[in-house]
Amino acid sequence: MDARNGIGGTLAGLDLRAEIDRLRTERNAVILAHYYQKPEIQDLADFVGDSLDLSRKAAETDADVIAFCGVRFMADTAKILSPDKIVVLPDMDAGCSLEDSCPPDQFKAFREAHPDHIALTYINCSTEVKALSDVIVTSSSAEKILSQYPPEQKIIFGPDKNLGGYLVRKTGREMLLWPGVCIVHEAFSETELLKLKAQHPGAPVAAHPECPAVILDHADYVGSTSGILAYAADFAGDTLIVATEPHIIHQMEKSLPNKNFIGAPGADGNCNCNICPYMALNTLEKLYVALRDLEPRIEIEEGLRLRAKKSLDAMLSMASATVGMGDLGPVRVTGD
């Protein structure tokens, strides 16, 4: 039992869903959830989305409290964009391996070693690294934002070398890549994926660009979580292999009950190793306590927040801009 949070016996007998509903109204709170959250959290959220959608919602909301069911960098982003709101994250240990792979002092030194480069940085990073960046991107906006820089502009891309490598291959633009990875998407096995494809001939593979190239090479579609959901709604056929965190399949099964969605396997032949251990820290119990106590709360020093906000504002404006080539939308690999 977590005595500090009052989680355990003291919550026994509570109807958590009803209590969360009551507190949501009393607190004028909005519950935002990422697609990688447990189904019971996705189902009671006011809004479920990808990183870009969630940032937009956080920037726009008129709620007094944002209960962020996702990971720390997402809740930090909400606070950076909506400083007057109370932002709570059910479990403050909900981090991200990409954020951990990019310590701000090392990133700063890397930038200083390449003064003629701008830093185009994946949103999966700390507030300090955002403050050291020129523009933030998400997986659904990266290519569109990249296309708005002239070809001669030198670029550092961090911290995800897989997303960066995918963008380099897709656009033909050289970028200096920071060597970070997502432990979840790194865990997919090419050998097991090929076995699964052989068992389901003709079933397409939809993959998140955080996967390494050996997995993306077998994908029929590559895109963000929202892009993968759009592809799932559209693809011809009845079975789709999904190479991203498996909790996203909950949304597919809800909206497309007649289709079959299979999580891509890890080296052990199943997809359990691809559950994000950070996202999984959030539970209904912790969400209830966060709404009840308005803790744990995100706080960011104002100078740091304002520096980080510049690169996020650049992302929000460039992601919505009308560019010459139109809104690229989800990135499609085959047929290019």
Residues 214-253: x/- map of binding to ligand SF4 (CB under 6 A)? -------------------------------x--------
Question: Other CB atoms closer than 10 Å to residue 314's CB: what's the count?
Answer: 18
Token pair recorded at residue 53: 């959608």
Contact 216, 264 (CB under 8 A): no
**HEC readout, 210-242:** CCCHHHHCCCCEECCHHHHHHHHHHCCCCEEEE
DSSP 2-45: BTTTTBSGGGTT--HHHHHHHHHHHTTEEEEEETTS-HHHHHH-
Nearest to 268 by CA among 165, 192, 324, 156: 192
Select the residue interacting with ligand SF4 from 92, 118, 183, 316 (CB under 6 A).
Answer: 183
The reply to whether 71 sits near ligand SF4 by the rule CB under 6 A is: yes
The reply to whether 243 sits near ligand 13P by the rule CB under 6 A is: no
From the list ligand SF4, ligand 13P, none, pick the one residue 97 interacts with, judged by a Cβ distance below 5 to 8 Å according to partner type. ligand SF4
Residues between 169 and 188 with contacts to ligand 13P, criterion CB under 6 A: 182
Give the residue with the Cβ less far from ligand 13P, 5 or 162.
Answer: 162
Alpha carbon distance 331, 333 (integer Å): 7
Select the residue interacting with ligand 13P from 225, 274, 283, 311 (CB under 6 A).
Answer: 225
Give the residue with the Cβ less far from ligand SF4, 180 or 296.
Answer: 180
Select the residue interacting with ligand 13P from 210, 231, 247, 289 (CB under 6 A).
Answer: 210
The residues of the shown chain that bind ligand SF4, judged by CB under 6 A, are: 36, 71, 96-98, 124, 182-184, 210, 245, 276, 278-279
Annotated binding site: 34, 51, 96, 122-124, 139, 182, 208-210, 225, 276
